[in-house]
Structure 1
Amino acid sequence: MRFRYVAGCLLALCAAQVSADAEKAIRASLDKLNLSGEIKAVSPAPVDGLYQVQLESGRLLYASENGDHIIQGAIFDVSGAQPRNLTAEAEAKGIGEAIDAIPRSEMVIFPAAERKAHITVFTDTDCGYCRKLHTEIDELNELGVEVRYAAFPRGGMETETARTMQSIWCAKDQQAAMTRAKQGDSVKEATCDDPVAKQFALGRQVGVQGTPAIFLGNGVLIPGYKPAAALAKEALANQ
């Protein structure tokens, strides 16, 4: 009995692996797409005959074993009482890991005295809802939510907003500079080896299309403003 159990486990393990030929074929096909990010892993998908391709950004693609067909879309599991978006669940995990990999030293952080949760906000300095959210930072901090800002000048890196954000990241007091900019005041020009372009690129890779784009601790995206009390509630429930 024990032998059959061990043998069954070994067979399941082998089945869960991707053959070298399949992975080579899939990677070769994906190279033709000129993806804006490296491939992190290739693994079996939840659907027989498909393989799941995780990009460094956390985003997922699916591929046939021979690599002839690449699929972009969501896989839903409707076998249970409630449908589950398996793609969204897996992407959130990968995106959370990609965002958590941003060094703290490269973000503008407003810490909570007693941190219970954190959010990462891809922001720019001009959007109205970004400014509204910033006025609620103290409330979020009091509720135990640390706010981590990443740069996303939504008009692109050649804009005045991008230059303002570069000055914020290079300021001696980043928090004060961010608050001045969010209040519509000028920020003293400063230059350094800033991460603004890198964070802008990462934001595009993880699906940011507008600001504020709020990522909870588990990688789930809230695409837009939400009042502090409701946002804190979701942040605490999604670490």
Structure 2
Amino acid sequence: MAALPRFLFSCFFLVLFSHAAWADETQILSSLKKVLPQYEVGSIKLHQSSGLYIVDMVGGPTLHVTSDGGYFVAGDLYKLDGDRLENETEKAKLAKVETLPESQMIIYKAKNEKAHITVFTDVDCGYCRMLHNDVPALNEKGITVRYLAFPRAGVGSSAYNKMVSIWCSDDPKAWLTKVKLGVEIPENKCVNPVADEFNLGRMVGVRGTPSIVLPNGSLLPGYLPVDQLAKEVGL
């Protein structure tokens, strides 16, 4: 019979905790709307270890806010782990890359896949072309290469238009290779993810191309030779 009271107590505690968290989020939302009306709040999530609430502002910074909504810090949250410094904000953002559906990517799949990398690429980028030349060798090592679009000059640029045409073509894999070799692609239009991928790249901290996202949430800015890249993914 003693198990039932303990169960009821646990349920009661969870209800109180959920109510308190909901009250905190309501207070935070109210406070931020007053002082930052130019931004829309995207999400509010409690960071259990620090006790702060992580607030993603649409088109704006990530905030770390006290439960009463009275104080906030704009910027990244770092974890001090012995002699290591871990940027938890960056890792959380980069984790969103892994949740993207592969149908939005252009993928060069390894036959015997052991790992994968996700690459923000620009068709007019010299180092992106060097990395693309390495794709067969990476595939041989068991590394699948998944591409996301990141036209560095932004939406509406020449590179952006080329990448829209690639993503909308009848064979995106073949056309991505051709365009990186300098072939002109006929204009194609369709509903496509190029702008969304560019905006995602900016959000997760991509500043140039190629930018390589590893499955563990690490971001490697720039080109790496095949053997070095294989080591980075643990092969």
The two structures have a TM-score, normalised by structure 1, of 0.81
Match of 1:198 in 2: 196
Query: CA offsets per residue over residues 160-198 of structure 1, 9 Å max, x none?
Result: 111100111011111111111111221222121121111
Which of residues 174, 182, 185 in structure 2 aligns to 1:184?
Answer: 182
The two structures have a TM-score, normalised by structure 2, of 0.82
Match of 2:170 in 1: 172
Secondary structure, aligned partner of 1:150:
strand
Question: Structure 2: which 5+ runs fail to align?
Answer: none
1:210 Cα offset (Å):
1.4
Mapped partners of 1:233, 1:17: distance in 2: 47
Which shows bigger deviation, 16-25 or 219-228?
Answer: 16-25
1:47 Cα offset (Å):
3.1
Q: 1:207 to 1:68 in 2, by over 3 A?
A: same
Which of residues 46, 50, 53 in structure 1 aligns to 2:55?
Answer: 53
Asked if structure 1 preserves the Cα contact closer than 8 Å seen for 2:134 and 2:226, the reply is yes
Asked if structure 2 preserves the Cα contact closer than 8 Å seen for 1:93 and 1:218, the reply is no
Match of 1:226 in 2: 224
Amino acid of the structure 1 residue aligned with 2:45: V
Amino acid of the structure 1 residue aligned with 2:46: S
Match of 1:84 in 2: 85
1:43 to 2:41 alignment: no
Amino acid of the structure 2 residue aligned with 1:203: G
Q: Which has the higher contact order (CA 8 A, sep 6+)?
A: 1
What pairs up with 1:1-239 in 2 under 5 angstroms?
Answer: 19-31=21-33, 32=36, 34-35=38-39, 38-39=42-43, 41-48=44-51, 50-53=52-55, 60-78=62-80, 81-85=82-86, 88-89=87-88, 91-96=90-95, 98-236=96-234
Asked if structure 2 preserves the Cα contact closer than 8 Å seen for 1:53 and 1:61, the reply is yes
Amino acid of the structure 2 residue aligned with 1:83: R
Asked if structure 1 preserves the Cα contact closer than 8 Å seen for 2:118 and 2:213, the reply is yes
Which shows bigger deviation, 18-27 or 143-152?
Answer: 18-27
Mapped partners of 1:137, 1:11: distance in 2: 53
Aligned length: 230
Root-mean-square deviation over aligned CA pairs: 3.2
Mapped partners of 1:61, 1:22: distance in 2: 15
Between structure 1 and structure 2, the one with the greater Rg is 2
Question: Structure 1: which 5+ runs fail to align?
Answer: none
Secondary structure, aligned partner of 1:149:
strand
Asked if structure 2 preserves the Cα contact closer than 8 Å seen for 1:18 and 1:42, the reply is no
Query: CA offsets per residue over residues 52-75 of structure 1, 9 Å max, x none?
Result: 335799x85301222233212344
Mapped partners of 1:70, 1:64: distance in 2: 6
